A and B are shown apart, each in its own frame.
Chain A
């Protein structure tokens, strides 16, 4: 009796050991290297900097300083505007492509197309941006081509146009993939039913396909917003950093000014914005359709 008891207890504790072996690594790792840093970031925003050295303290001075600066407010709304612009542009440009991949090509072509769209995600974004820099330059490929037909040269670098090209390079493949995932799962009979009931092509898209694919469309848009809002490469190299976006502000404040606490304030404001946008959109995406 007692022997089986110990056997059961032993197997219970070995069960627990087994379960913990698989459960603990991520918890330990993320607490040490993910949650730890983010919490410290929040604490750091209240620290003081004296003679280029950081002192642990609890002062509001960094928050007050940053919020009283015009450049911070300008930079905030500029970044927000760019990210919203990129999200709208990217979603609109991606939609016909995802539509074509979902309904106009064979399943095999779709698989290969998605395969090729995933590739850029694993290649250097930095090198691709540098490539655009050369292509879009005053004497670059695009302007040379335009010259043949007697146009240009156009200034594309250091403009919002340049920034958008960079953002799209970063986000377009991902957004097309996400949109295609949700659209290709739509039951084709709904679409045929809409046609049979006399829906035109446009009407079918707006009142059948878009509502059914809403979740994927919104999640694609959210990812696009997150990526564009946090990116510093495109607005810096292609947009000329006029004015600097929030992420460029973080780099400048950290690297040259040694003002880590103020950079932390910018970072926290960015995080709050992203969380608000992400939660609101995802709540919207999963909300049941009301009739």
Chain B
């Protein structure tokens, strides 16, 4: 019994180490963003807002932030709509080639981003839509739709299968049932999906780098700064981006968790 307890403590200690490893870069980035040193190390320099002042006074970063926000909002709306339609089709219908249909919907995350980036760059130039903000939105929607679909499909599988049929029997049309039963039931998942897909789009750099042309997003700007030199500005931008992404992810998680809890009480 004693050795059982020892091994249990060793494993828990190991778990703590793993979490330290996973969060070390994130914590370091936040700490260094308030640090005066040009090359951050230990012992730390003094507290400073120098890097934040620098990025706030940089017009390029404001332009990039604007592009990023536009792309993230459009991508999240488009991919959530398409993801919802696909999740509902998978939930409701059986049909021939459904396997192919689902593969088409879920495959994008298994293709390395750099390959998609090259393929989309070439294809977009071929059909004449490359180098615009809309090209980033089209590309990001492909990447984000599988996440949207997964989140909404999970929520649909928690719905009582007879609910839809009951509404039809009571005389509601399919469209009315969709509007008054299914969409309200999946609303937490829809909002969660809007947040998560926005977060994914906001952080994506490989595809955006290739297809954006001159319309750089924030991650593309980071990529270009990093290529040049060590510049603690990256930590400041990274910290701000992290706060935004985190807010979106936490909203999404809380929505998913509380909607599950509420169902189990009802």
With A and B bound together, what is the CA distance between A5 and B82 in angstroms? 34
> In the complex, are the beta carbons of B235 and A131 less than 8 A apart?
yes
Q: Is B192 an interface residue (CB 8 A)?
A: no
Stretch from B48-56, B59-67, B159-167, B202-210 that touches the partner: B202-210
Residues of chain B at interface, number, CB under 8 A:
80
How many A residues touch the partner, as a band? 35 or more
* Contact partner, B246, options A119, A173, A263, A270, Cβ 8 Å: A119
Interface residues of B: mostly helix, strand, loop or mixed?
helix
Q: Check: A61 CB closer than 8 A to any chain B CB.
A: no
How far in angstroms is the closest Cβ of chain A from B217?
11
- Chain B residues within an 8 Å CB radius of A176: 18
A118 B42 Cβ-Cβ under 8 A: no
Min CB distance A176 to B, Å, is 7
Whether B25 contacts A270 by the Cβ 8 Å rule is no
A141: Cβ under 8 A from any B Cβ:
yes
Cβ contact within 8 Å between B141 and A33 = yes
**CB nearest neighbor in B for A131:** B25
Given A104-B12, A131-B28, are A123 and B242 also a contact pair (CB < 8 Å)?
yes
Which of chain B's residues 111-131 have a Cβ closer than 8 Å to chain A?
A: 111-116, 118-124, 126
Q: Which residue from B32, B115, B223, B245 sits with its C-beta under 8 Å from A270?
A: B115
Contact with B along A17-38 (1 / 0, CB 8 A): 0110111011101101111111
Interface residues of B (CB under 8 A from A): 7-8, 11-12, 14-15, 18-19, 21-26, 28-29, 32, 39-43, 81-82, 85-86, 88-89, 92-93, 101, 104-105, 107-108, 110-116, 118-124, 126, 138-139, 141-142, 145, 174-175, 196, 199-200, 203, 205-206, 210, 219, 222-223, 226, 230, 234-235, 237-238, 241-242, 245-246, 248-249, 253
Provide 26 A-B residue pairs closer than 8 Å at the C-beta atoms, listed in order of the A residue: A22-B88, A26-B86, A34-B116, A37-B123, A41-B123, A100-B11, A100-B12, A100-B15, A104-B11, A116-B23, A117-B22, A118-B249, A119-B246, A119-B249, A123-B246, A124-B238, A124-B242, A130-B234, A130-B235, A135-B28, A137-B41, A140-B41, A169-B22, A172-B21, A260-B118, A267-B114
